[in-house]
Amino acid sequence: MIKAIIEKDQYFDSVFLMLINSNVKELDGVKNAVVSMGTEMNIELLKDMGYATEDILQSTANDLLMVIEAENEEIIEAAVATVSDLLNKKKKKSSGKAYQPKSLQSAVKDDPDANMVIISLPGDFAAREAKSALNNGLNVMMFSDNVSVESEIELKELAWKKGLLMMGPDCGTAIINGYPLCFANVVSPGDIGVVAASGTGLQEVTSCIDTFGGGITQGIGTGGRDLKEPRIGGKMMLMGIEALKQDPKTKVIVVISKPPAQDVADTVLLALEKTGKPSVVHFIGQAPEKNRNNLNFAGNLEETAKIAVALSKDETYASTVFTIPQSEVQSIIERESQKISTDQKYLRGLYTGGTVADEAMILLEQITGPVYSNNQKKKELQLSDPFKSVGHTIVDLGDDIYTVGRPHPMIDPSTREERINIEADDNEMAVLLIDVVLGYGSHSDPAGAIIKSLKAARDKAKARGGYLPVIASVIGTKKDFQGYEATVATLESAGCVVMPSNYQASMLAVEIIKKGGTL
Amino acid sequence: MNVGKITSLFENDLNVINMGLESFSETLEEQGVQSTHVLWSPPAGGNAKLIDALDFLNSRKEGIDKANEKALEIIQKGKPEIVDIQIAIDVIPGMTAKTVLHAGPPVTWDNMCGPMKGAVIGGLIFEGLAASRVEAEKMAASGEIFFDPCHHHSTVGPMAGIVTASMPVWVMKNGVYGNSAYATLNEGLGKVLRYGAFSEEVITKLHWMKDELAPILKKALDLHGPVDMKNLIAQVLQMGDEGHNRNRAGTSLFIREMAPHLVMLDENRETLAEVFNFMHLNDHFFLNLTMPACKCIIDAARDIKNSSLIVTQARNGTEYGIQVSGLGDQWFTGPASKVDGLYLPGYTADDAGLDIGDSTITETVGIGGFAMAAAPAIVKFVGGTPEDAMKFTLDMYEITLGENNIFQIPSLDFRGTPTGIDLLKIAETGIYPVINTGIAHKDPGVGMVGAGLVKPPVNCFDEALIKFTETFK
């Protein structure tokens, strides 16, 4: 039986509702549950599912919709009670607080010293509020995606005119004045300023900088399209570079991006040269150019951090693959490759961070040959069924195809847990490569949430007469609230090998496959 | 390249406004960063057509802001004074012997709700135009009577708001803008005309008010001279009234104002005692003064081109309606809502009539529901907690043009009350004017059954917004 409940004028954000959704679906006897706001899109979805009653069709984006399908009345009532409970907790939390403004205008009035607006609203509304924020003279960090290129152009032109940051859309990471915003790590203060067109790229580089003893002034995000889309032309990247140039605390400037449009790359590099400050550039997946003037080119994210720290400390940089002693590396490779069976041929990477997934994919491709991925640019290497790995496969589980109706896997690890369980039954898997992202925004125990499935996968391989090496890298610092060491210990307790960076983890995985004789 | 605001961000403390995921704000607070989380909801309920309208109007912001500044200035400067008591037909523009004024937007006899019909019946009997309920109903239905909203005649009436030709009315004059406003004298609680009662005791009281009360108060007023209502309202807000549903301080203050002059009149002591007692036993006596005072203030801000100020919100028990400064005399109406409230002993929600009365004029100039934070005790009357009362007022700052320069709220550190309801801000935030109100029995002849809070119908604001947009095209 099906029950539909509509609560008028009760707005909740969608990520919160998605978490409720997954909680309710897990209840025994619940066949299906939808808890969402009455937006046009959600109503369409309910229609497709055959749940759209007359009342639901009449509801608005301010109305909370709850549809539960279960075996009997009792289960439905229990499910409704669970939902109400979770909603009430949220309401209670805000009712204890001092007055919370209900619009940007009144927030600005209440706090005239505000200088940054973080926007994680649904895409349709995000651009509208961002425009209003910029017009109020406020810097913007826009976490929201699903914002059109046209809107992004308009917003960035406005920000350009007003001399304001317009980070994003789809900007998940920034560090401003030492404070991590949204998905970011607690990094030591220092003299390195970063502008990045990639969220996990920024997380990986700033975390590595911290690990190598350096520190950060600012970490500015631009959103992924800033350099890729010629009509945007790297506007925010250029403004970020200029701001870091003028910032007396910034000694070294780091620029990270996926390969930009050529014109844009030229403009950005020229601007960087003009700063006169020692700079590091890494275009992910692009071979480093020859260093010139103050520009240093890095070949991977970790190296980007290494060079930046060397410049910051006036040291020289020497290129190495592994930062742990070579003998130790050799013994790990020995140990992990020994028991791999002959059936086990392929590397599988299950990532929550998009940029680190790309980094692994591109690195591996140069060594192992074709790598399939949902992030592949090469058409023939795109996964025909994104839920099924073939050959060497690197999956970015943060992709929209995997997150329909559920939060990003950095928040909700169950997406990856499920994928590990599927992958575990594939006897062709030779090495499993994963990232574990710490920091604000991420799950409180991302390692703990997947070790059960990692152990099970290793046990299954063993039962088949083989062995499954799991190579992990933890993106984060010792100051992150999840605990860096505790995370490493958790992973190691499940038999994982934990490497200091994604680059080293990827390289180790390759070495193990080579040694295991399957390459 | 200008990056001034970015470098200044680097040099100052990070201070964040967060819209969306609350956890982003919480983690910043944990780190000691000042962060304000906005309790955001989709503008205009997510309605694409209305959002387009808002975006279009945003492109005309300058002109609208200017018009609204002017409108707010008129409200702030307005100076309503009680100058006289007169008979309706002698002063109210357009009043005739067979005119019956009523609360809210226009409504025909057929469509009138129970309490309003009851009050019409009482009014016709009072005027001697009918001798019984049956006769009155027949006359009302005959077309012989001209029904018209009080608002069309610079007048306001609480609940049913019935005003007939020979009723005495307060005459309020705006000392700065010269316009006048009118309202009857408040009859008290219980079985009263404004709640739809029309029994003999109701009619008898109306006659006493006309023949004894009004002439005596008029004489005392002559001795006193004009009474500055803005000053009085400012005082009552600091004494725990909000000027709409709590008028205990206001009534007391008014008696104090009049007493020295009343006792100097050449009237016998019993009659004077009756006058004093009548006011003393009716906490709402002052309501019929705040209402025309507010009407007098806001009427001066009508017909300002491009202004999105709401100059009227009124209900007739069948419909709720608003008028907007930049849209002239056009009403935008929607079905009257059910009141969510507390009931007098013996009554339940089943007895309740729908939302009714012109008293919501008080909210248009920043008192009443908008000043509930000044009157925490009001929750005993309309329900809720003192904390709710505070939140209602704080919410109203989201949809108003400014803060009152005279009306202040002590508990908010004497912050001016939220003043000047803005149609555009309502659409943008989805926050609607808070209305606290009395509840009349749904049937004619019974009277008051309770009081509570009510949400206005949304469609009239939406329609007004679209119409407002058209005036620019």
Same domain, A348 and A407: yes
Closest CA to A121 of B17, B129, B154, B174: B17
The residue out of A281, A312, A343 marking a domain boundary is: A312
Q: Which of residues 54-113 of A touch B (CB under 8 A)?
A: 60-62, 94, 99-111, 113
Q: Which two tokens stand for residue B209?
A: 């008010």
The closest of A221, A203, A142, A217 to A480, measured between CA atoms, is A203
Confidence at residue B424, expressed as pLDDT on a 0 to 100 scale: 97
Name which of A179, A272, A410, A480 to mutate to probe chain B: the one with the most chain B Cβ atoms within 10 A of its Cβ: A179
Given an 8 Å threshold on Cβ–Cβ distance, is A165 in contact with B6? yes
Looking up residue A397, the CATH number of its domain turns out to be 3.40.50.261
Range with lowest mean pLDDT among A306-320, A504-518, B55-69, B416-430:
A504-518
**B279 and B375 co-located in one domain:** no
| % of chain A with per-residue pLDDT over 70 | 98
Q: Which amino acid is at A68?
A: I
Q: Is the pLDDT of residue A20 over 90?
A: no
Task: Give the domain-ending residue among A46, A69, A95.
Answer: A95
pLDDT in tens, A392-420: 999 999 998 898 778 899 999 999 999 99
Q: Do B6 and A163 touch (CB under 8 A)?
A: yes
Considering the domain boundaries, does residue B2 fall inside one?
A: no
> Which residues of chain B have a CB within 8 Å of the CB of A101?
36, 38-39, 398
pLDDT at A88: 78
User: Is pTM, for the whole model, over 0.80?
Assistant: yes
A118: in domain: no
CB spacing of B3 vs A94 below 8 angstroms: no
Share of chain A above pLDDT 90, in %: 71
Tell if the CB–CB gap between B27 and A100 is shorter than 8 Å. no
A406/A287 same-domain check: no
Confirm whether B6 is domain-assigned: no
The nearest CA of chain B is from the CA of A1 a distance in Å of 30
Report yes or no on A156 lying in a domain.
no
Contacts of A144 in chain B (CB under 8 A): 20
pLDDT at B287 exceeding the cut of 60: yes
Whether residues B179 and B313 fall in one domain? no
- 3-state secondary structure string, B209-257? HHHHHHHHHHHHHHHHCCEEHHHHHHHHHCCCCCCCCCCHHHHHHHHHH
**Which residues from chain A sit within 8 angstroms of residue B47, using beta carbons?**
60-61
Inspect the interface and report whether the beta carbons of B51 and A102 lie closer than 8 Å. Answer: no
Examine the domain organization and report whether B278 and B408 are in the same domain: no
Residues A452 and A361 in one domain: yes
> Are A345 and A444 contained in the same domain?
yes
Q: Does A290 lie in the same domain as A421?
A: no
Lowest mean pLDDT among A22-26, A69-73, B125-129, B324-328: A22-26
- Residue at A101 is within a domain: no
Enter the tokens of residue A142.
């826009």
Nearest chain B residue (CA) to A236: B3
Q: Please compute the mean of the pLDDT values over residues B47-75 and round it to a whole number.
A: 95
Do B103 and B234 sit in the same domain of this protein?
yes
Same domain, B187 and B308: no
Least CB–CB distance from A242: residue in B1, B13, B18: B1
What is the mean pLDDT of the segment spanning A340-359?
94
* Nearest residue in chain B measured CA to CA from A62: B45
Instruction: Tell me the CA distances in angstroms from B221 to A84, B250, B265, B266, B268, one per residue in order.
Output: 59, 16, 11, 14, 18
Within a domain: B1: no
Question: Under an 8 A CB cutoff, do A242 and B3 touch?
Answer: yes
Sign of the CA dihedral with B13 first, then B16, B22, and B23 last = negative
What's phi and psi for B16, nearest 5 deg? Answer: -110, 140
Residue B210 in domain: yes
Contact (Cβ atoms closer than 8 angstroms) between residue A114 and residue A141: no
**How far does CA A133 lie from the centroid of its chain?**
25
Closest C-alpha to A211, from A494, A23, A479: A479
Q: Is the pLDDT of residue A375 over 80?
A: yes
Q: Does A165 sit within 8 Å of B20, measured CB to CB?
A: no
Query: For residue B201, what is the domain's CATH number?
Result: 3.90.1710.10
Which residue of chain B is at minimal alpha-carbon distance from A112? Answer: B15
> Is residue A508 included in any domain, yes or no?
yes
Q: How confident is the model at residue A517 (pLDDT cuts 50, 70, 90)?
A: low
Average pLDDT, chain A: 92
| Whether residue A490 sits in one domain with residue A393 | yes
Residue A44: band (very low, low, confident or very high) from pLDDT cuts 50, 70, 90? confident
Given CB atoms, is A441 within the 8 Å cutoff of chain B?
yes
Q: Is residue A463 helix, strand or coil?
A: helix
Please give the ipTM for the structure prediction. 0.87
Residues of A in contact with B42 (CB under 8 A): 11, 37, 39, 60-62, 122, 125
Average pLDDT in chain B? 95
Looking at the structure, tell me whether residues A299 and A336 fall in a common domain.
no
Q: β-pairing, B15-19 with A116-119?
A: parallel
B272 and B305 together in one domain: no
Range of the domain at B437: 53-76+298-470
Distances (CA, A) of A407 to A33, A41, A68, A374: 16, 17, 20, 18
In this prediction, residue A302 has a pLDDT band, given cuts at 50, 70 and 90, of: very high
Q: List, for residues A228-245, the tens digit of each pLDDT value.
A: 999 999 999 999 999 999
Give burial (CB, 10 Å; 0-12/13-18/19+) of A188.
middle
Among B16, B46, B425, the residue with its CB nearest the CB of A116 is B16
Q: Give pLDDT, residue A42.
A: 84
Q: A489 and A474 in contact (C-beta within 8 Å)? A: no
Same domain assignment for residues A356 and A226? no
Q: For residue B46, which residues of chain A lie inside 8 Å, CB to CB?
A: 38-40, 60-62
Q: How far is CA A404 from CA A398, A408, A415, A457, B310, in A?
A: 10, 9, 11, 25, 43
**Per-residue confidence (pLDDT) for residue A22, from 0 to 100:** 77
Residue B4 lies in a domain: no
For the segment A462-473, the average pLDDT, to the nearest whole number, is 96
pLDDT over 70 (residue A45)? yes
> What pLDDT does residue B380 have?
81
Q: Of A29-43, A54-68, A175-189, A397-411, which has the strongest mean pLDDT?
A: A175-189
Separation CA B367–CA B376 (nearest Å): 14
Count of alpha carbons within 13 angstroms of residue A225, beta-carbon side = 20
Same domain, B255 and B159: yes
Report the alpha-carbon distance of residue A212 to residue A203 in Å, rounded.
14
Give the residue-averaged pLDDT of A30-47.
Answer: 85
B228 shares a domain with B120: yes
Rounded alpha-carbon distances, angstroms, from residue A79 to A89, A91, A203: 16, 18, 38
CA distance B66 to chain A (A): 18
User: How far apart, in whole angstroms, are the C-alpha atoms of residue B436 and residue B242?
Assistant: 10
Verify that B284 and B400 share a domain, yes or no. no
Residues 473-502 of A with CB under 8 A from B: none
Asked if A441 and B10 come within 8 Å (Cβ–Cβ), the reply is: no
Give per-residue pLDDT as tens, B233-270: 999 999 999 999 999 999 999 999 999 999 999 999 99
* HSE of B318, CA atoms in CB hemisphere, 13 A: 15
Question: Same domain, yes or no, for B433 and B309?
Answer: yes
> A119 to chain B nearest CA, in Å?
5
Q: What is the pLDDT of residues A311-325, one digit of tens each?
A: 999 999 988 899 999
Contact list, B16 vs chain A (CB under 8 Å): 114, 116-118, 181
What is the pLDDT, as a whole number, of residue A135?
95
In a domain, A129, yes or no: no
Regarding whether A374 and A296 lie in a shared domain, the answer is no
What mean pLDDT do residues A53-59 have? 86
Show the domain range for A205: 171-312
DSSP state of B153: G
Query: In this predicted structure, what is the pLDDT of residue B39?
Result: 92
pLDDT computed for residue A92 by the predictor: 60
Interchain contact, A441 vs B23, CB within 8 Å: yes
Asked if A182 and A174 touch (Cβ cutoff 8 Å), the reply is yes
**Residue B179 and residue B119 in one domain:** yes
Same domain, A389 and A489: yes
CB contact under 8 A, A143 and B8: no
* pLDDT of amino acid A93: 58
Q: What are phi and psi of B344, to 5 degrees?
A: -70, 155
Beta carbons of B39 and A118 less than 8 Å apart: no
Task: State the CATH number of the domain containing residue A14.
Answer: 3.30.70
- A361 and A505 in a single domain? The answer is yes
> 10 Å Cβ neighbour count for A501?
27
Point out the domain boundary residue: A268, A286, A312.
Answer: A312
Q: What's the burial of A385, exposed, middle or buried (CB within 10 Å: 0-12/13-18/19+)? A: exposed
Best CA proximity match to A99, nearest among B53, B467, B39, B360 = B39
**Interface contact flag, B9 A13, Cβ < 8 Å:** no
* Angle (nearest 5°) at CA B236 between B232 and B240: 180
* Domain shared by B170 and B23, yes or no: no
Q: What value, to the nearest 5°, has the Cα angle with vertex A163 and ends A157 and A164? A: 85
Distance from CA of B194 to the nearest CA of A (A): 33
A13 in a structural domain: yes
**Nearest CB to A118: which of B24, B41, B397?**
B24
Q: Is residue A443 part of a domain?
A: yes
**Which residues of chain B have a CB within 8 Å of the CB of A113?**
12-13, 15, 34
Total domains, chain B: 3
Domain count, chain A: 3
CA nearest to A246 within chain B: B7
Helices (H), B269-372: 269-280, 287-299, 361-364
The Cα B372–Cα A512 span in angstroms is 72
pLDDT at residue B346 is higher than 80: yes
Identify whether residues A342 and A306 lie together within a single domain.
Answer: no
CA–CA dist B21, B15 (Å, integer): 17
